[in-house]
Amino acid sequence: MNKYLLNINHLLLALLFVVTSCNGQVKTDLPNDNVNQQTPIEGVQQKIVRTQGATSGNLTCELQDKDGNLWFSTTGEGVYRFDGKSFTNYTTKNGLFDNTASSIIQDKLGNILIGTNAGICKYDGNIFSKYFETDTLNNLRIIALLEDREGNIWFSAMNKGIYRYDGNNLSNFLYKYEHRFFGDKQEKMISDIIQDKKGNIWFSSFNRGGVWRYDGKTLTHFLPSTDYYLFLEDERSNAYSASDKKYVHSPDYITDDMISSMTEDKAGNIWFATRRHGICRYDGKTFTSFRENEVFVRYSIIAILEDKKGIFWLGTDEGGVFSYDGKTLKNYTTTDGLINNSVRSILEDKDGNLWFGTRSFGLSRFDGKTFTTFSEYKEE
């Protein structure tokens, strides 16, 4: 595999002089009369209600915080917090920077960090504040967030690659890289960031960048084989086929260069959800493709999660959600009670319930037997 040394953008280090501490951040008071909080009614199922007039978009299951609250991000409707009884909706009226939100994490201090189309917003339980004071960082469209074991905050931004912030220093890399087949290109979307049991940080691209592994010193770049491109596996109309032979995946290479999400299983394997090649498992030496099972290939895999029982759940773009116990696939769709067949995210709560966020602001909970709808849903 090709290896690239960490490329730190020295110009961005100048931002350190304007990045203030948490105590110095400008804070926005949270107007109590603007908080859209439901009043629980006994016997009535509480549901997410649109308050900002958005007519389309996704709902994403993001986080269960230390207090047990569930957090959901949306396209155009801000974020929602569910305490088990009712939903509270936070929008720009309450200090949220933008009503389109992405990743949500909780840091070691207990703050909720929310990625938005206008940078990272911090919520301490009472007020929203800027995570960074500089306009440069607050203009970024945030895609993914991660706090590693050392307390560093990693975040990806559209067209800007990856940032790492250790509380004092800011580094930027993967904003430009050398692609084996395409050469120099500007990275447009780092879709997911995870840390494995060994401490490696993984980055996935949904813009033909494949994945990277960072061990603290070196970036290792994983891309499909040259044959992947020569045999039109990337669906480029201007590519050519080296022969009439069928493309055969080599276990030395990842199966796809468009990866929507990643997860690490209990055994330490890294799993990749791909756009056109199902799911792929990496054991540290070889890549195992599940493409031979055509049901994986029929739909793009958007979300992947291993639950507490060791069962994998796969959210697809059009085919609902699949469970995979290592031997058997089972498909759940709207016929079974799922709110929408385009599943964008999966979250397991502390009680073992699975939450599925979908297109059209759909939200379903699955208790192992029954799907319950938690959003006022209207087909778009």
Instruction: Encode pLDDT of 189-212 as tens digits.
Output: 899 999 999 999 999 999 889 999
Contact call for residues 300 and 260 (beta carbons, < 8 A): yes
User: Domain with 76 in it: what CATH number?
Assistant: 2.130.10.10
How much is the pLDDT for 11? 33
| Helix, strand or coil, per DSSP, at residue 205 | strand
Question: Which is more confident, 235 or 77?
Answer: 77
How much is the pLDDT for 28? 45
Each residue's pLDDT tens digit, 277-322: 999 999 999 999 986 666 767 789 999 999 999 999 999 999 999 9
Residue 243 forms part of a structural domain: no
How much is the pLDDT for 137? 93
pLDDT at 136 over 50: yes
Catalogue the E-assigned strands of 249-292: 259-264, 270-274, 279-282, 287-289
Residue 232 forms part of a structural domain: no
Each residue's pLDDT tens digit, 52-100: 999 888 999 999 999 999 999 999 999 999 999 999 999 999 999 999 9
pLDDT at 49 over 70: yes
User: For residue 220, what are the β-bridge partners?
Assistant: 3, 213
| Helix, strand or coil, per DSSP, at residue 353 | coil
Contact call for residues 221 and 187 (beta carbons, < 8 A): no
Residue 378 forms part of a structural domain: no
pLDDT above 90: percentage of residues in the chain: 67
Residue 136 forms part of a structural domain: yes
pLDDT at 38 over 80: no
Residue 244 forms part of a structural domain: no
Residue 178 pLDDT class (50, 70, 90 cuts): confident
| Helix, strand or coil, per DSSP, at residue 188 | coil
How much is the pLDDT for 174? 87
pLDDT above 70: percentage of residues in the chain: 82
Q: How many CB atoms lie within 10 A of CB 235?
A: 9
Averaged pLDDT of the chain: 86
Residue 304 forms part of a structural domain: yes
Average pLDDT over residues 344-370: 97
Residue 335 forms part of a structural domain: yes
**Structural tokens at position 126:** 């009472």
**Structural tokens at position 163:** 């940032």
pLDDT at 179 over 50: yes
How much is the pLDDT for 247? 79
pLDDT at 257 over 70: yes
Residue with tokens 């706090």: 147
How much is the pLDDT for 40? 52
How much is the pLDDT for 230? 84
* Domain with 6 in it: 2-227+256-373
pLDDT at 152 over 60: yes
How much is the pLDDT for 292? 61
How much is the pLDDT for 35? 62
pLDDT at 242 over 50: no
How much is the pLDDT for 62? 96
Average pLDDT over residues 217-236: 86
pLDDT at 13 over 60: no
User: For residue 263, what are the β-bridge partners?
Assistant: 271
Order of strands across the sheet that contains 79-82: 36-37, 87-90, 79-82, 70-74, 59-64
pLDDT at 29 over 50: no
Domain count, the chain: 1
